Amino acid sequence: MLYINSRLFKIQLIAQVALILLIFLISFSVSIQAVFAGILLCVVGIPHGANDHLYRKDQSSKGMLKFLGVYLGIIAAYAILWYLLPLVALILFFGISFHHFGQSNFENEEVAYLPSILWGLLLLAFPVIIHFQEAINIFKSMLDFGNFTQTATEFNLFDLRNWQIVSLLILVLVYNLSLYIYQRKYFLKYFLQLLMVSLWYFFTPLLFGFVIVFCLWHAMQSTQYQLNFYTQSLKKSKFNFFVAMLPFSLIALLGFGIFVYFFTFNVSQAFILLSLITLPHVLVMHKLYQT
């Protein structure tokens, strides 16, 4: 079954509507935002890439060692790129994120599928355009031009400048046009998805808004797709899927916890760490979608 027709998609829409209503009923302080986002990241966000090893061709122990060697090698090479050429590394992070978010949403195997590219662009560009100065400060810090530790800034929808409004409108119009051309049959469903995500971004701080969208609209769908592949194509049980997810999820969470303990939490460094595990994950998932 296509993701757009799945029960998960309906649950995500309902959950997003509920969250939008909640932000008007409950005062989401910075601490509440951090706890809520942290729980989602630990339960869904980080674990959704912990089963990459299940899809390797060689299922033997030797194959596992080879997979881990390549996987960690990619991470190490990317870390070196961040050290030597941070601007190139940042651009690469943008590129793989656009592709990955869009590919999972449309479950397509191609790289140059227009709705997929535009959806990935929207998920990242919307919060950046809306909270432009805060986003730029984070990017500067990732490029080692400063230390960004701020977690939220006050935002008023009516403070948007003309270039921000025009940019957002162009993105929305072009994306909807691509949907009409390539996904006319499901246009309304994809439009509702866009509407809910856009409203959420408009009424939430940059980091909190993005983390929720990442977990709700990407990590959950990606996990569902992996589960379907694991149970239907590999003929394995759901129980084994979630058991296999635990070791690397715990390793990732423990590693991040140790890093924060010794170096304190830093937004820009957290995004760099995220990019390091994102690159090999994207390569694995791209092959999976092609399969």
Residue 213 one-letter amino acid: V
Q: What is the pLDDT of residue 160?
A: 84
pLDDT at residue 150 is higher than 70: no
Q: What is the pLDDT of residue 58?
A: 86
pLDDT > 70 fraction of the chain, expressed in percent and rounded: 95
Whole-structure pTM value? 0.89
pLDDT, greater one: 153 or 243: 243
CA–CA distance, 179 with 168 (Å, rounded to integer): 17
pLDDT of 75-88, one tens digit each?
999 999 999 999 99
pLDDT at residue 249 is higher than 70: yes
CA–CA distance, 128 with 90 (Å, rounded to integer): 14
pLDDT at residue 147 is higher than 50: yes
Region 142-158: mean pLDDT is: 60
CA–CA distance, 116 with 111 (Å, rounded to integer): 8
Q: What is the pLDDT of residue 118?
A: 95
Q: What is the pLDDT of residue 34?
A: 83
pLDDT at residue 151 is higher than 50: no
pLDDT of 26-75, one tens digit each?
877 888 888 888 888 888 988 888 889 888 888 888 999 999 999 999 99
CA–CA distance, 123 with 78 (Å, rounded to integer): 23
pLDDT at residue 260 is higher than 80: no
SS3 6: coil
The average confidence (pLDDT) of the chain is: 89
SS3 264: coil
Q: What is the pLDDT of residue 42?
A: 86
For the record, the structure tokens of 43 come out as 């339960």
- Contacts of 146 by beta carbon, 8 Å cutoff, 6+ apart: 137, 140
Q: How far is CA 146 from CA 78, 118, 129, 138, 143, in A?
A: 21, 31, 21, 9, 8
Tokens 């989401």 identify what position?
Answer: 28
CA–CA distance, 71 with 45 (Å, rounded to integer): 19
- Domain boundary assignment for the chain: 3-20+29-290
